[in-house]
A and B are shown apart, each in its own frame.
Chain A
Protein backbone atom coordinates (compact mmCIF):
# COMPACT_ATOMS: atom_id res chain seq x y z
CA UNK A 1 0.00 0.00 0.00
CA UNK A 2 1.50 3.32 -1.03
CA UNK A 3 0.69 6.63 0.47
CA UNK A 4 -1.06 8.89 -2.01
CA UNK A 5 1.72 10.83 -3.68
CA UNK A 6 1.69 12.95 -6.81
CA UNK A 7 4.22 11.33 -9.10
CA UNK A 8 3.92 11.16 -12.86
CA UNK A 9 2.11 7.84 -12.85
CA UNK A 10 -0.33 8.42 -10.03
CA UNK A 11 -2.72 11.07 -11.12
CA UNK A 12 -5.81 11.95 -9.16
CA UNK A 13 -8.86 13.79 -10.23
CA UNK A 14 -11.36 15.45 -7.97
CA UNK A 15 -15.02 14.59 -8.24
CA UNK A 16 -17.41 16.94 -6.57
CA UNK A 17 -20.22 14.97 -4.97
CA UNK A 18 -23.70 16.31 -4.27
CA UNK A 19 -22.72 15.79 -0.63
CA UNK A 20 -20.23 18.68 -1.03
CA UNK A 21 -17.12 16.56 -0.77
CA UNK A 22 -14.12 16.45 -3.06
CA UNK A 23 -13.67 12.81 -3.80
CA UNK A 24 -10.18 11.99 -4.98
CA UNK A 25 -10.22 9.34 -7.68
CA UNK A 26 -7.05 7.63 -8.82
CA UNK A 27 -6.78 7.63 -12.61
CA UNK A 28 -5.33 4.47 -14.13
CA UNK A 29 -1.81 4.92 -15.51
CA UNK A 30 -0.40 4.03 -18.91
CA UNK A 31 1.25 0.83 -17.71
CA UNK A 32 -1.80 -0.81 -16.21
CA UNK A 33 -4.03 0.25 -19.09
CA UNK A 34 -1.65 -1.18 -21.68
CA UNK A 35 -1.35 -4.39 -19.70
CA UNK A 36 -5.13 -4.65 -19.43
CA UNK A 37 -5.45 -4.25 -23.20
CA UNK A 38 -2.81 -6.92 -23.75
CA UNK A 39 -4.66 -9.32 -21.47
CA UNK A 40 -7.89 -8.65 -23.37
CA UNK A 41 -6.20 -9.17 -26.73
CA UNK A 42 -4.78 -12.44 -25.42
CA UNK A 43 -8.30 -13.52 -24.39
CA UNK A 44 -9.59 -12.70 -27.88
CA UNK A 45 -6.71 -14.55 -29.51
CA UNK A 46 -7.41 -17.60 -27.39
CA UNK A 47 -11.10 -17.59 -28.33
CA UNK A 48 -10.16 -17.17 -31.98
CA UNK A 49 -7.77 -20.10 -31.77
CA UNK A 50 -10.44 -22.30 -30.22
CA UNK A 51 -12.90 -21.20 -32.91
CA UNK A 52 -10.41 -21.80 -35.68
CA UNK A 53 -9.52 -25.29 -34.47
CA UNK A 54 -13.22 -26.17 -34.19
CA UNK A 55 -13.88 -24.94 -37.71
CA UNK A 56 -10.98 -26.80 -39.25
CA UNK A 57 -11.95 -30.00 -37.48
CA UNK A 58 -15.66 -29.91 -38.17
CA UNK A 59 -16.30 -27.88 -41.27
CA UNK A 60 -15.46 -29.19 -44.70
CA UNK A 61 -17.30 -28.77 -47.95
CA UNK A 62 -16.49 -32.35 -48.89
CA UNK A 63 -19.53 -33.63 -47.02
CA UNK A 64 -21.55 -36.25 -48.87
CA UNK A 65 -25.12 -35.30 -48.10
CA UNK A 66 -26.82 -31.96 -47.60
CA UNK A 67 -26.87 -32.31 -43.81
CA UNK A 68 -23.07 -32.31 -43.73
CA UNK A 69 -22.89 -29.32 -45.98
CA UNK A 70 -25.54 -27.47 -44.01
CA UNK A 71 -23.73 -28.17 -40.75
CA UNK A 72 -20.36 -27.09 -42.04
CA UNK A 73 -21.72 -23.86 -43.50
CA UNK A 74 -23.44 -23.13 -40.19
CA UNK A 75 -20.14 -23.60 -38.38
CA UNK A 76 -18.26 -21.41 -40.85
CA UNK A 77 -20.93 -18.74 -40.42
CA UNK A 78 -20.64 -18.91 -36.64
CA UNK A 79 -16.87 -18.54 -36.96
CA UNK A 80 -17.26 -15.44 -39.11
CA UNK A 81 -19.65 -14.02 -36.55
CA UNK A 82 -17.13 -14.85 -33.81
CA UNK A 83 -14.37 -12.95 -35.59
CA UNK A 84 -16.65 -9.99 -36.14
CA UNK A 85 -17.98 -10.15 -32.59
CA UNK A 86 -14.51 -10.21 -31.05
CA UNK A 87 -13.36 -7.35 -33.24
CA UNK A 88 -16.22 -4.98 -32.50
CA UNK A 89 -18.17 -6.54 -29.66
CA UNK A 90 -15.73 -7.86 -27.06
CA UNK A 91 -15.01 -4.57 -25.28
CA UNK A 92 -18.56 -3.28 -25.71
CA UNK A 93 -20.08 -6.45 -24.33
CA UNK A 94 -17.92 -6.70 -21.22
CA UNK A 95 -17.81 -3.02 -20.39
CA UNK A 96 -21.57 -2.89 -20.56
CA UNK A 97 -22.42 -6.08 -18.67
CA UNK A 98 -19.61 -5.88 -16.14
CA UNK A 99 -20.15 -2.20 -15.40
CA UNK A 100 -17.06 -0.77 -17.06
CA UNK A 101 -14.75 -3.76 -16.72
CA UNK A 102 -13.31 -6.26 -19.17
CA UNK A 103 -11.43 -9.39 -18.05
CA UNK A 104 -8.14 -7.49 -18.40
CA UNK A 105 -9.43 -4.47 -16.50
CA UNK A 106 -10.85 -6.68 -13.76
CA UNK A 107 -7.50 -8.40 -13.36
CA UNK A 108 -5.76 -5.05 -12.88
CA UNK A 109 -8.51 -3.44 -10.78
CA UNK A 110 -9.40 -0.88 -13.44
CA UNK A 111 -12.89 0.39 -14.22
CA UNK A 112 -14.42 2.75 -16.74
CA UNK A 113 -16.67 5.41 -15.20
CA UNK A 114 -18.23 8.63 -16.42
CA UNK A 115 -16.35 11.80 -15.54
CA UNK A 116 -19.03 12.57 -12.95
CA UNK A 117 -18.48 9.24 -11.19
CA UNK A 118 -21.62 7.48 -12.34
CA UNK A 119 -21.65 4.11 -14.16
CA UNK A 120 -21.31 4.07 -17.95
CA UNK A 121 -24.37 3.61 -20.12
CA UNK A 122 -24.49 1.57 -23.33
CA UNK A 123 -24.04 4.59 -25.58
CA UNK A 124 -20.91 5.69 -23.67
CA UNK A 125 -19.47 2.21 -23.99
CA UNK A 126 -20.17 2.18 -27.73
CA UNK A 127 -18.63 5.61 -28.20
CA UNK A 128 -15.38 4.76 -26.46
CA UNK A 129 -14.99 1.31 -27.98
CA UNK A 130 -16.07 1.86 -31.58
CA UNK A 131 -13.31 4.46 -31.79
CA UNK A 132 -10.64 1.90 -30.88
CA UNK A 133 -9.47 1.30 -34.48
CA UNK A 134 -8.24 4.91 -34.49
CA UNK A 135 -6.50 5.03 -31.15
CA UNK A 136 -5.90 1.56 -29.73
CA UNK A 137 -5.31 -1.23 -32.20
CA UNK A 138 -2.14 -1.84 -34.18
CA UNK A 139 0.17 1.08 -34.91
CA UNK A 140 -2.68 3.46 -34.09
CA UNK A 141 -2.13 2.45 -30.47
CA UNK A 142 0.69 5.01 -30.36
CA UNK A 143 -1.91 7.76 -30.63
CA UNK A 144 -3.82 6.31 -27.69
CA UNK A 145 -0.63 5.96 -25.64
CA UNK A 146 0.34 9.53 -26.36
CA UNK A 147 -3.12 10.76 -25.43
CA UNK A 148 -3.03 8.87 -22.13
CA UNK A 149 0.36 10.44 -21.39
CA UNK A 150 -0.49 14.02 -22.19
CA UNK A 151 -4.16 14.49 -21.41
CA UNK A 152 -4.83 15.63 -17.88
CA UNK A 153 -7.05 12.76 -16.83
CA UNK A 154 -5.34 10.13 -18.99
CA UNK A 155 -8.18 10.09 -21.51
CA UNK A 156 -7.64 8.81 -25.02
CA UNK A 157 -9.73 10.20 -27.90
CA UNK A 158 -12.53 7.69 -27.34
CA UNK A 159 -12.64 8.61 -23.66
CA UNK A 160 -12.89 12.29 -24.50
CA UNK A 161 -15.72 11.55 -26.91
CA UNK A 162 -17.65 9.44 -24.42
CA UNK A 163 -16.67 11.59 -21.38
CA UNK A 164 -15.32 8.59 -19.54
CA UNK A 165 -12.37 7.97 -17.24
CA UNK A 166 -10.48 4.79 -16.52
CA UNK A 167 -9.85 4.61 -12.79
CA UNK A 168 -7.79 2.38 -10.56
CA UNK A 169 -9.64 0.87 -7.62
CA UNK A 170 -7.44 0.05 -4.67
CA UNK A 171 -8.95 -2.98 -2.96
CA UNK A 172 -10.05 -2.16 0.59
CA UNK A 173 -8.60 -4.42 3.25
CA UNK A 174 -9.87 -3.53 6.72
CA UNK A 175 -7.76 -6.23 8.31
CA UNK A 176 -4.69 -3.95 8.22
CA UNK A 177 -6.20 -2.30 11.30
CA UNK A 178 -6.56 -5.61 13.13
CA UNK A 179 -3.07 -5.78 14.58
CA UNK A 180 -3.09 -2.35 16.19
CA UNK A 181 -6.61 -2.78 17.47
CA UNK A 182 -5.74 -6.13 18.98
CA UNK A 183 -2.79 -4.50 20.72
CA UNK A 184 -4.94 -1.65 21.98
CA UNK A 185 -7.98 -3.64 23.04
CA UNK A 186 -6.96 -5.21 26.40
CA UNK A 187 -6.31 -1.92 28.17
CA UNK A 188 -9.92 -0.74 28.17
CA UNK A 189 -10.29 -1.14 31.93
CA UNK A 190 -6.71 -1.01 33.17
CA UNK A 191 -5.91 2.64 33.75
CA UNK A 192 -2.53 3.42 32.23
CA UNK A 193 -1.26 6.92 31.41
CA UNK A 194 -2.47 7.47 27.90
CA UNK A 195 -0.23 8.64 25.07
CA UNK A 196 -1.48 10.80 22.19
CA UNK A 197 -0.15 9.95 18.73
CA UNK A 198 -0.77 12.24 15.81
CA UNK A 199 -2.27 10.60 12.69
CA UNK A 200 1.07 10.16 10.93
CA UNK A 201 2.60 8.44 13.95
CA UNK A 202 -0.45 6.23 14.40
CA UNK A 203 -0.23 5.31 10.71
CA UNK A 204 3.43 4.39 11.16
CA UNK A 205 2.70 2.16 14.13
CA UNK A 206 -0.32 0.59 12.42
CA UNK A 207 1.67 -0.30 9.32
CA UNK A 208 4.49 -1.76 11.31
CA UNK A 209 2.22 -3.89 13.48
CA UNK A 210 0.14 -5.16 10.58
CA UNK A 211 3.19 -6.11 8.55
CA UNK A 212 5.76 -7.26 11.06
CA UNK A 213 4.94 -10.93 10.61
CA UNK A 214 5.77 -10.71 6.91
CA UNK A 215 9.21 -9.13 7.42
CA UNK A 216 12.58 -10.85 7.61
CA UNK A 217 13.65 -11.16 11.29
CA UNK A 218 16.68 -8.84 10.98
CA UNK A 219 14.71 -6.22 9.03
CA UNK A 220 11.92 -6.49 11.54
CA UNK A 221 14.24 -5.77 14.44
CA UNK A 222 15.99 -2.92 12.64
CA UNK A 223 12.66 -1.26 11.78
CA UNK A 224 11.48 -1.61 15.36
CA UNK A 225 14.62 0.14 16.66
CA UNK A 226 14.21 3.04 14.24
CA UNK A 227 10.51 3.36 15.05
CA UNK A 228 11.28 3.36 18.75
CA UNK A 229 13.79 6.16 18.26
CA UNK A 230 11.15 8.13 16.38
CA UNK A 231 8.37 7.68 18.89
CA UNK A 232 10.44 8.01 22.06
CA UNK A 233 9.88 11.77 22.52
CA UNK A 234 6.15 11.09 22.96
CA UNK A 235 6.56 9.22 26.21
CA UNK A 236 8.82 11.69 27.95
CA UNK A 237 8.08 11.73 31.64
CA UNK A 238 6.31 8.37 31.78
CA UNK A 239 7.67 5.03 32.90
CA UNK A 240 7.95 3.96 29.29
CA UNK A 241 10.76 6.43 28.65
CA UNK A 242 13.27 4.44 30.66
CA UNK A 243 11.68 1.05 30.11
CA UNK A 244 14.28 -1.67 29.35
CA UNK A 245 11.94 -3.57 27.02
CA UNK A 246 13.33 -4.62 23.60
CA UNK A 247 12.15 -2.40 20.76
CA UNK A 248 9.31 -4.51 19.47
CA UNK A 249 7.85 -5.18 22.92
CA UNK A 250 8.24 -1.50 23.61
CA UNK A 251 6.15 -0.66 20.53
CA UNK A 252 3.43 -3.08 21.61
CA UNK A 253 3.45 -1.54 25.07
CA UNK A 254 3.10 1.88 23.44
CA UNK A 255 0.16 0.65 21.38
CA UNK A 256 -1.49 -0.55 24.57
CA UNK A 257 -1.47 2.99 25.92
CA UNK A 258 -3.04 4.90 23.08
Chain B
Protein backbone atom coordinates (compact mmCIF):
# COMPACT_ATOMS: atom_id res chain seq x y z
CA UNK B 1 0.00 0.00 0.00
CA UNK B 2 1.33 3.45 -0.84
CA UNK B 3 1.73 5.91 1.95
CA UNK B 4 -0.96 8.14 0.45
CA UNK B 5 -3.53 5.35 0.35
CA UNK B 6 -2.59 4.26 3.88
CA UNK B 7 -3.17 7.75 5.25
CA UNK B 8 -6.40 8.23 3.33
CA UNK B 9 -7.79 4.91 4.50
CA UNK B 10 -6.92 5.12 8.20
CA UNK B 11 -6.81 8.80 9.05
CA UNK B 12 -10.45 8.99 10.26
CA UNK B 13 -9.73 6.17 12.73
CA UNK B 14 -6.61 7.86 14.08
CA UNK B 15 -8.39 11.16 14.44
CA UNK B 16 -11.22 9.43 16.27
CA UNK B 17 -8.71 7.88 18.67
CA UNK B 18 -7.12 11.28 19.19
CA UNK B 19 -10.40 12.98 20.08
CA UNK B 20 -11.31 10.11 22.41
CA UNK B 21 -7.93 10.49 24.11
CA UNK B 22 -8.65 14.18 24.54
CA UNK B 23 -11.89 13.28 26.30
CA UNK B 24 -10.38 10.69 28.63
CA UNK B 25 -7.37 12.92 29.43
CA UNK B 26 -9.59 15.69 30.70
CA UNK B 27 -12.35 13.63 32.30
CA UNK B 28 -10.53 10.56 33.58
CA UNK B 29 -11.72 7.00 32.99
CA UNK B 30 -14.35 7.03 35.71
CA UNK B 31 -16.60 9.54 34.03
CA UNK B 32 -16.73 7.77 30.68
CA UNK B 33 -19.08 5.00 29.64
CA UNK B 34 -18.25 1.34 29.12
CA UNK B 35 -18.84 1.37 25.33
CA UNK B 36 -16.54 4.40 25.14
CA UNK B 37 -13.73 2.53 26.88
CA UNK B 38 -14.28 -0.57 24.78
CA UNK B 39 -14.08 1.46 21.60
CA UNK B 40 -10.99 3.25 22.88
CA UNK B 41 -9.20 0.00 23.57
CA UNK B 42 -10.21 -1.45 20.19
CA UNK B 43 -8.95 1.67 18.42
CA UNK B 44 -5.73 1.54 20.42
CA UNK B 45 -5.08 -2.01 19.40
CA UNK B 46 -5.76 -1.41 15.72
CA UNK B 47 -3.53 1.69 15.80
CA UNK B 48 -0.66 -0.31 17.28
CA UNK B 49 -1.11 -2.56 14.25
CA UNK B 50 -0.86 0.47 11.97
CA UNK B 51 2.24 1.60 13.84
CA UNK B 52 3.89 -1.77 13.29
CA UNK B 53 3.06 -1.59 9.59
CA UNK B 54 4.36 1.97 9.33
CA UNK B 55 7.56 1.03 11.15
CA UNK B 56 8.27 -1.56 8.50
CA UNK B 57 7.26 0.38 5.40
CA UNK B 58 7.36 4.11 6.09
CA UNK B 59 10.55 4.86 8.00
CA UNK B 60 11.45 8.48 8.59
CA UNK B 61 8.08 10.00 7.74
CA UNK B 62 5.92 12.50 9.58
CA UNK B 63 3.20 9.90 9.74
CA UNK B 64 5.41 7.50 11.69
CA UNK B 65 6.23 10.28 14.17
CA UNK B 66 2.53 10.99 14.66
CA UNK B 67 1.67 7.34 15.11
CA UNK B 68 4.38 7.00 17.76
CA UNK B 69 2.93 9.97 19.61
CA UNK B 70 -0.61 8.68 19.29
CA UNK B 71 0.19 5.17 20.50
CA UNK B 72 2.27 6.53 23.39
CA UNK B 73 -0.61 8.75 24.51
CA UNK B 74 -3.09 5.90 24.27
CA UNK B 75 -0.77 3.49 26.08
CA UNK B 76 -0.42 6.08 28.81
CA UNK B 77 -4.19 6.15 29.29
CA UNK B 78 -4.81 2.41 29.00
CA UNK B 79 -2.08 1.10 31.28
CA UNK B 80 -2.74 3.24 34.35
CA UNK B 81 -1.68 2.49 37.92
CA UNK B 82 -4.36 2.16 40.56
CA UNK B 83 -6.01 5.37 41.56
CA UNK B 84 -4.99 6.69 44.96
CA UNK B 85 -7.92 5.97 47.24
CA UNK B 86 -8.43 6.74 50.90
CA UNK B 87 -7.98 3.04 51.59
CA UNK B 88 -4.56 2.97 49.92
CA UNK B 89 -3.53 6.16 51.74
CA UNK B 90 -4.55 4.67 55.10
CA UNK B 91 -2.73 1.45 54.39
CA UNK B 92 0.31 3.53 53.45
CA UNK B 93 0.44 5.07 56.92
CA UNK B 94 -0.64 1.92 58.76
CA UNK B 95 1.56 -0.65 57.04
CA UNK B 96 4.03 0.73 54.54
CA UNK B 97 5.72 3.33 56.72
CA UNK B 98 6.31 1.12 59.80
CA UNK B 99 7.50 -1.72 57.55
CA UNK B 100 10.00 0.59 55.87
CA UNK B 101 11.36 1.69 59.25
CA UNK B 102 11.60 -1.85 60.61
CA UNK B 103 13.41 -2.92 57.45
CA UNK B 104 16.05 -0.24 57.92
CA UNK B 105 16.55 0.03 61.67
CA UNK B 106 20.30 -0.04 61.24
CA UNK B 107 20.26 3.18 59.22
CA UNK B 108 18.07 4.84 61.85
CA UNK B 109 20.50 3.80 64.60
CA UNK B 110 23.44 5.20 62.63
CA UNK B 111 21.54 8.41 62.15
CA UNK B 112 20.92 8.60 65.90
CA UNK B 113 24.61 8.00 66.57
CA UNK B 114 25.59 10.88 64.26
CA UNK B 115 23.12 13.15 66.02
CA UNK B 116 24.48 12.18 69.46
CA UNK B 117 27.99 12.73 68.13
CA UNK B 118 26.92 16.23 67.17
CA UNK B 119 25.58 16.88 70.68
CA UNK B 120 28.79 15.56 72.24
CA UNK B 121 30.91 17.79 70.03
CA UNK B 122 28.70 20.77 70.87
CA UNK B 123 28.99 20.16 74.61
CA UNK B 124 32.75 19.73 74.56
CA UNK B 125 33.29 22.64 72.15
CA UNK B 126 31.69 25.08 74.58
CA UNK B 127 33.55 23.45 77.46
CA UNK B 128 36.77 24.01 75.54
CA UNK B 129 36.12 27.53 74.30
CA UNK B 130 32.91 29.43 74.91
CA UNK B 131 33.44 31.67 71.89
CA UNK B 132 32.28 28.83 69.61
CA UNK B 133 28.77 29.99 70.41
CA UNK B 134 29.51 33.41 68.91
CA UNK B 135 29.93 31.79 65.52
CA UNK B 136 26.79 29.73 65.34
CA UNK B 137 24.16 31.37 67.55
CA UNK B 138 22.34 34.62 66.72
CA UNK B 139 23.30 37.61 68.93
CA UNK B 140 19.84 38.07 70.47
CA UNK B 141 19.89 34.50 71.72
CA UNK B 142 23.40 34.96 73.12
CA UNK B 143 22.56 38.22 74.85
CA UNK B 144 19.51 36.81 76.56
CA UNK B 145 21.47 33.76 77.75
CA UNK B 146 24.30 35.99 79.09
CA UNK B 147 21.74 38.05 80.99
CA UNK B 148 20.26 34.89 82.51
CA UNK B 149 17.00 34.74 80.54
CA UNK B 150 15.67 32.15 78.15
CA UNK B 151 15.72 33.61 74.63
CA UNK B 152 12.39 31.87 74.09
CA UNK B 153 10.65 34.30 76.44
CA UNK B 154 11.30 37.24 74.15
CA UNK B 155 10.73 35.30 70.93
CA UNK B 156 7.39 33.85 71.96
CA UNK B 157 6.18 37.11 73.44
CA UNK B 158 6.58 38.85 70.12
CA UNK B 159 5.21 36.15 67.84
CA UNK B 160 1.68 34.77 68.22
CA UNK B 161 1.54 31.00 68.76
CA UNK B 162 0.00 30.26 65.39
CA UNK B 163 2.81 32.02 63.55
CA UNK B 164 5.65 30.58 65.57
CA UNK B 165 4.26 27.04 65.35
CA UNK B 166 4.04 27.33 61.57
CA UNK B 167 7.53 28.77 61.43
CA UNK B 168 8.84 25.92 63.59
CA UNK B 169 7.26 23.00 61.83
CA UNK B 170 7.92 24.27 58.31
CA UNK B 171 11.58 24.79 59.05
CA UNK B 172 11.83 21.45 60.82
CA UNK B 173 10.15 19.60 57.95
CA UNK B 174 12.55 21.32 55.56
CA UNK B 175 15.47 20.05 57.63
CA UNK B 176 14.00 16.53 57.68
CA UNK B 177 13.34 16.40 53.93
CA UNK B 178 16.77 17.88 53.25
CA UNK B 179 18.31 15.13 55.34
CA UNK B 180 16.46 12.57 53.18
CA UNK B 181 17.46 14.18 49.88
CA UNK B 182 21.03 14.48 51.17
CA UNK B 183 21.32 10.72 50.82
CA UNK B 184 21.89 11.31 47.10
CA UNK B 185 25.15 13.10 47.94
CA UNK B 186 26.43 9.72 49.20
CA UNK B 187 25.14 10.71 52.65
CA UNK B 188 27.46 13.70 53.09
CA UNK B 189 24.65 16.25 53.29
CA UNK B 190 22.62 13.96 55.57
CA UNK B 191 25.60 13.58 57.87
CA UNK B 192 26.15 17.33 57.88
CA UNK B 193 22.49 18.13 58.64
CA UNK B 194 22.30 15.65 61.52
CA UNK B 195 25.65 16.67 62.94
CA UNK B 196 25.00 20.42 62.79
CA UNK B 197 21.58 20.09 64.42
CA UNK B 198 23.04 17.94 67.19
CA UNK B 199 25.96 20.35 67.55
CA UNK B 200 23.60 23.33 67.97
CA UNK B 201 21.63 21.50 70.65
CA UNK B 202 24.84 20.59 72.48
CA UNK B 203 26.17 24.16 72.37
CA UNK B 204 22.90 25.63 73.64
CA UNK B 205 22.61 23.11 76.48
CA UNK B 206 26.17 23.62 77.67
CA UNK B 207 25.88 27.38 77.43
CA UNK B 208 22.62 27.34 79.40
CA UNK B 209 24.17 25.21 82.11
CA UNK B 210 27.08 27.67 82.38
CA UNK B 211 24.70 30.55 82.96
CA UNK B 212 22.41 28.67 85.32
CA UNK B 213 19.62 28.14 82.82
CA UNK B 214 19.90 24.37 82.41
CA UNK B 215 16.70 23.62 84.36
CA UNK B 216 14.64 26.12 82.38
CA UNK B 217 16.07 24.94 79.09
CA UNK B 218 15.34 21.28 79.85
CA UNK B 219 11.82 22.19 80.91
CA UNK B 220 11.36 23.99 77.61
CA UNK B 221 12.63 21.03 75.62
CA UNK B 222 10.77 18.36 77.63
CA UNK B 223 7.43 18.68 75.84
CA UNK B 224 8.48 18.42 72.23
CA UNK B 225 12.16 17.47 72.20
CA UNK B 226 11.88 13.70 72.09
CA UNK B 227 9.33 13.68 69.26
CA UNK B 228 11.18 16.30 67.26
CA UNK B 229 14.57 14.67 67.56
CA UNK B 230 13.10 11.23 66.83
CA UNK B 231 11.52 12.53 63.62
CA UNK B 232 14.73 14.19 62.46
CA UNK B 233 16.70 11.04 63.25
CA UNK B 234 14.24 8.86 61.32
CA UNK B 235 14.46 11.00 58.20
CA UNK B 236 18.24 11.13 58.59
CA UNK B 237 17.99 7.33 58.55
CA UNK B 238 16.08 7.64 55.28
CA UNK B 239 18.98 9.63 53.87
CA UNK B 240 21.44 6.96 54.95
CA UNK B 241 19.32 4.27 53.29
CA UNK B 242 19.66 6.14 49.99
CA UNK B 243 23.38 6.68 50.56
CA UNK B 244 23.83 3.00 51.33
CA UNK B 245 22.09 2.03 48.08
CA UNK B 246 24.59 4.21 46.19
CA UNK B 247 27.70 3.13 48.06
CA UNK B 248 26.90 -0.49 48.68
CA UNK B 249 24.40 -1.79 46.11
CA UNK B 250 25.25 -5.46 46.71
CA UNK B 251 24.19 -7.73 43.87
CA UNK B 252 22.04 -5.06 42.24
CA UNK B 253 23.15 -2.38 39.84
CA UNK B 254 23.46 1.01 41.49
CA UNK B 255 20.46 2.37 39.60
CA UNK B 256 18.28 -0.56 40.65
CA UNK B 257 19.40 -0.39 44.26
CA UNK B 258 18.65 3.33 44.30
CA UNK B 259 15.17 2.80 42.86
CA UNK B 260 14.30 -0.02 45.27
CA UNK B 261 15.74 1.48 48.45
CA UNK B 262 14.58 4.99 47.54
CA UNK B 263 11.03 3.73 47.70
CA UNK B 264 11.33 2.70 51.35
CA UNK B 265 13.48 5.73 52.17
CA UNK B 266 10.82 8.21 51.08
CA UNK B 267 8.33 6.36 53.27
CA UNK B 268 10.63 6.82 56.26
CA UNK B 269 11.03 10.51 55.45
CA UNK B 270 7.26 10.97 55.21
CA UNK B 271 6.82 9.44 58.68
CA UNK B 272 8.55 12.49 60.10
CA UNK B 273 6.15 15.03 58.57
CA UNK B 274 3.08 14.57 60.82
CA UNK B 275 5.36 14.09 63.85
CA UNK B 276 7.09 17.41 63.17
CA UNK B 277 3.79 19.25 62.74
CA UNK B 278 2.67 18.00 66.18
CA UNK B 279 6.05 18.80 67.71
CA UNK B 280 5.98 22.30 66.22
CA UNK B 281 2.56 23.02 67.70
CA UNK B 282 3.65 21.83 71.15
CA UNK B 283 6.85 23.84 70.96
CA UNK B 284 4.90 27.00 70.17
CA UNK B 285 1.85 26.61 72.41
CA UNK B 286 2.77 24.41 75.37
CA UNK B 287 6.55 24.54 75.87
CA UNK B 288 6.82 28.32 76.51
CA UNK B 289 3.58 28.42 78.55
CA UNK B 290 3.16 28.01 82.30
CA UNK B 291 1.93 24.43 82.32
CA UNK B 292 3.37 22.44 85.23
CA UNK B 293 6.71 20.78 84.58
CA UNK B 294 5.43 17.26 85.19
CA UNK B 295 2.78 17.79 82.50
CA UNK B 296 5.39 18.76 79.91
CA UNK B 297 7.60 15.81 80.80
CA UNK B 298 4.74 13.31 80.66
CA UNK B 299 3.47 14.77 77.40
CA UNK B 300 6.92 14.57 75.83
CA UNK B 301 7.49 10.99 76.95
CA UNK B 302 4.03 9.85 75.84
CA UNK B 303 4.30 11.43 72.39
CA UNK B 304 7.83 10.18 71.81
CA UNK B 305 6.87 6.74 73.05
CA UNK B 306 3.78 6.60 70.84
CA UNK B 307 5.85 7.61 67.81
CA UNK B 308 8.29 4.76 68.34
CA UNK B 309 5.51 2.29 69.19
CA UNK B 310 3.80 3.24 65.93
CA UNK B 311 6.98 2.78 63.93
CA UNK B 312 8.17 -0.41 65.57
CA UNK B 313 5.07 -2.38 66.47
CA UNK B 314 2.00 -1.42 64.42
CA UNK B 315 0.85 -2.55 60.99
CA UNK B 316 1.16 -5.87 59.29
CA UNK B 317 4.47 -7.60 59.68
CA UNK B 318 6.61 -7.99 56.57
CA UNK B 319 5.50 -10.66 54.18
CA UNK B 320 8.08 -13.36 53.75
CA UNK B 321 9.41 -13.06 50.23
Which chain A residues have a beta carbon within 8 Å of chain B's beta carbons? 1, 3-4, 15, 17-25, 61, 69, 73-74, 76-77, 80-81, 83-84, 87-88, 99, 113, 116-119, 121-123, 126-127, 130-135, 157-158, 160-163, 167, 169-170, 172, 174, 176-177, 180-181, 184, 196-197, 199-200, 202-203, 206-207, 258
Contact = CB atoms under 8 A, between A and B. Distances in A.
A73 B60 CA distance: 62
Contacts of B65: 1, 4, 170
A162 B170 contact: no
Contacts, number: 162
Contacts of B7: 177, 181
Contacts of A21: 48, 51-52, 55, 71
15 contacts: A15-B75, A21-B48, A21-B55, A25-B72, A69-B160, A80-B167, A119-B81, A123-B266, A130-B180, A133-B177, A135-B184, A160-B255, A170-B65, A172-B66, A197-B3
A80 B3 contact: no
Dominant SS at the A interface? helix
B69 interface: yes
B168 to A, nearest CB: 10
B147 interface: no
Nearest to B60: A3
B163 A76 contact: yes
Most buried by A among B66, B81, B181: B181
Q: How large is the interface on B (under 10, 10 to 19, 20 to 34, 35 or more residues)?
A: 35 or more
Contacts of A117: 72, 75-76, 79
Interface in B127-178: 158, 160, 162-163, 166-167, 170, 173-174, 177-178
Interface in B251-287: 255, 258-259, 262-263, 266, 269-270
B11 A203 contact: no
Contacts of B64: 4
A116 B59 CA distance: 24
Contacts of A132: 181
A163 B75 CA distance: 18
Contacts of A87: 174
Contacts of A135: 184
B266 A157 contact: no
Interface string B39-73: 00000010010011001011111111110111111
